[in-house]
């Protein structure tokens, strides 16, 4: 009986706190674009003595389904989720990568059938298995006409690689038009580079959230995050709660964004 009362009490107090946070956010403009670095999945699995890291990755993927619903409810228009980096492709064991490929494919497929969301793969296809590339492409095609939350799935993604790919794209296009290197040097601007990034046409992220308490970017949206606000959550990826998300939004709402002024 005591245990039941304790759980009820915690649930009641949690609900009160959630309502208080939502009241504090009334009238505050939400970030237009949120980046999410999902971290701590493997640690979560180890702490629970689970057999493989895949258990943590599956739990993290399930949390991202929740997270996107929170973002949608909050009026956020674009979310970029960092699921698999180019460094992961060379630094993780093959068996873990194969399980990750399957988990990410399932997530992309599920999200492409949820609500009115538009799914976009941002990253390179190099190093990804063809079935995953096909699943990501199908998710994009299936949701191309959707007008709801825009979800970027950063898979096979690296910020340095993205900038290098943008520069290669600019050079190739300039060369096809018969332009010289001197001409290109005059034309090259931050705006031109931005137009050739994986996220071309999208606003830069206003807020980047990272779970697990780590405070680093890990090659995520290096170009786009020049003026982003950052919020670090102590909870591991699968343990992130909606209250943590609302705290991040509350913290963002209190910051004065100067953009160098």
Copy the structure tokens of residue 247.
């705290």
Q: Is 251 a catalytic residue?
A: no
What is d(CA 161, CA 86) in angstroms, rounded to the nearest whole number? 8
In degrees rounded to 5, what are phi and psi of residue 35?
-100, 140
Q: Are 193 and 167 in contact (CB under 8 A)?
A: yes
* 204 included as an active-site residue: no
Q: Of 72, 88, 152, 206, which one is the catalytic site residue?
A: 88
Q: What is d(CA 187, CA 138) in angstroms, rounded to the nearest whole number? A: 36
Q: How many other β-carbons are positioned within 10 Å of the β-carbon of residue 97?
A: 18
CA pair distance 150, 120, nearest whole angstrom: 8
> What is the Cα–Cα distance from 94 to 35, expressed in whole angstroms?
27
Element (H, E) at 44: helix 41-47
| β-strand pairing of 78-85 with 33-37 | parallel
Question: Among 101, 83, 99, which residue's Cα sits nearest to residue 50?
Answer: 99
User: Which residues are designated catalytic?
Assistant: 39, 88
């Amino acid at each position: 009986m005591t245990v039941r009362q304790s759980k009820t009490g915690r649930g009641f107090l949690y609900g009160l706190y959630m309502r208080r946070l939502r009241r504090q956010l009334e009238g505050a403009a939400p970030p237009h674009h949120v980046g999410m670095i999902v971290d701590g999945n493997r640690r979560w699995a180890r702490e629970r003595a689970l057999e493989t890291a895949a258990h943590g990755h599956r739990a993290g993927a399930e949390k991202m389904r929740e997270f996107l619903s929170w973002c949608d409810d909050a009026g956020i228009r674009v979310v970029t989720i960092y699921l698999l980096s180019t460094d992961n492709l060379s630094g993780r064991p093959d068996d873990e990568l194969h399980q990750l490929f399957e988990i990410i494919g399932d997530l992309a497929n599920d999200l492409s059938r949820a609500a009115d969301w538009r799914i976009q793969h941002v990253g390179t296809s190099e190093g990804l298995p063809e079935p995953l590339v096909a699943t990501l492409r199908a998710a994009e095609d299936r949701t191309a006409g959707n007008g709801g939350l825009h979800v970027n799935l950063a898979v096979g993604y690296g910020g340095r690689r993205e900038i290098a790919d943008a520069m290669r794209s600019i050079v190739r296009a300039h060369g096809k038009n018969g332009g010289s290197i001197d001409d290109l040097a005059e034309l090259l601007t931050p705006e031109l580079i931005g137009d050739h990034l994986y996220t071309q046409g999208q606003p830069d992220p206003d807020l980047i959230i990272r779970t697990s308490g780590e405070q680093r970017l890990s090659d995520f949206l290096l170009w786009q995050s020049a003026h982003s606000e950052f919020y670090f959550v102590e909870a591991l990826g699968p343990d992130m709660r909606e209250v943590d998300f609302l705290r991040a939004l509350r913290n963002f709402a209190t910051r004065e964004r100067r953009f160098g002024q």
